[in-house]
Amino acid sequence: MGGNAFRGTQPVTLEECTALVPVLLLELRALGAVRVTPVGSTGKAPVSGDIDVAVEHPQGRDFLAAQFGRLYGREAVRRLGSRQLTVRYPSVDGSKDHQVDIIVGPPGSTGWVQWSHLSPGEASPVKGVVRNLLLNAVARDAWQADGGRRSKLTIDWDVGAYRIIQVETDDDPRRSWRTIAREFVTSDPDALAGHLFGQGYDAASVSTFEGVVAALRATSPRFDGIMEAFADEVRDLAAIRPGLFGDVQETLAYIEKVRRG
């Protein structure tokens, strides 16, 4: 996501987005999609790199991709991961093209995607990706071990939370643990918050970066170590994907300010 999938697509102003989104939603519904919902900063930011939409479709992502390929040409459609579909989509007046990113899930998935791709807007000065990276860091740190067996949650932001199960092994000198199972746990944001932080925490309480920091500070003795590893991850990812966080120095300074409380 972010408007970089195709050459020549243009950013979307709020005015253009307001005109285009109703047309897009009607077309998606005509192609069989249900619970069609704009997500992220779509319809909120003055200028966006793309338009983000979550839908549910009984015949799945690939069926919807084929339909858009029929309408706009196969070169205007790309599949990303297991759920995402990116389309080069014409503006209302046909003078330019914009990038539309569609997350296609099964029945009941839209609530998860709305939360996982939430744009904080005025609630936080940092982007939603910062909150998600910190939640990833919390999940990554929370191994539960029992002898030569361990497990942890891992988060797929388009699908839900899974549990990874590993066993200790000496078969491969390059690694000491081997993954033996990946089990789906939940696509309920409230349940994920409970799994990560315990009773009393729900999706609303960790809907922003600041909320996640507060929950982590209150529940984890490893608060400082997790926050330091998370900040390093932000630096590393910013070097690979410039612009993902906006001004990365401002983002890092804010992360440190919130960490110190």
pLDDT-derived band at 150, boundaries 50, 70, 90: very high
Map tokens 């989104």 to a residue. Answer: 21
- At residue 118, what are phi and psi to the nearest 5 degrees? -65, 130
Query: In angstroms, rounded to a whole number, what is the distance separating the alpha carbons of residues 112 and 119?
Result: 14
Residue 137 scores a pLDDT above 70: yes
User: What token pair was written down for 203?
Assistant: 């999706």
Average of per-residue pLDDT across 43-68 = 92
Query: In angstroms, rounded to a whole number, what is the distance separating the alpha carbons of residues 104 and 55?
Result: 5
What was the pLDDT predicted at 40?
85
pLDDT 10s digits, 195-206: 999 999 999 999
> For residue 200, what are the β-bridge partners?
none
User: What token pair was written down for 168?
Assistant: 């200790």
- Eight-state DSSP code of residue 176: S
Q: Which pTM value belongs to this model?
A: 0.82
Closest CA to 101 of 124, 123, 68, 131: 68
Q: What string of DSSP letters covers 230-250?
A: HHHHHHHHHHHSTTTTSSHHH
What was the pLDDT predicted at 244?
85
- Structural domains of the chain in order of their starting residue, each with its CATH number: 12-119 (3.30.460.10), 122-260 (no CATH)
Residue 136 scores a pLDDT above 50: yes
Task: Report the share of the chain in percent with pLDDT over 70.
Answer: 97
The stretches of the chain forming alpha helices (DSSP H) are 14-30, 60-72, 110-116, 128-141, 189-197, 209-219, 223-240, 248-260
pLDDT 10s digits, 157-183: 988 999 999 998 877 666 688 899 999
- At residue 130, what are phi and psi to the nearest 5 degrees? -65, -45
In the predicted model, what is the mean pLDDT of the chain?
A: 91
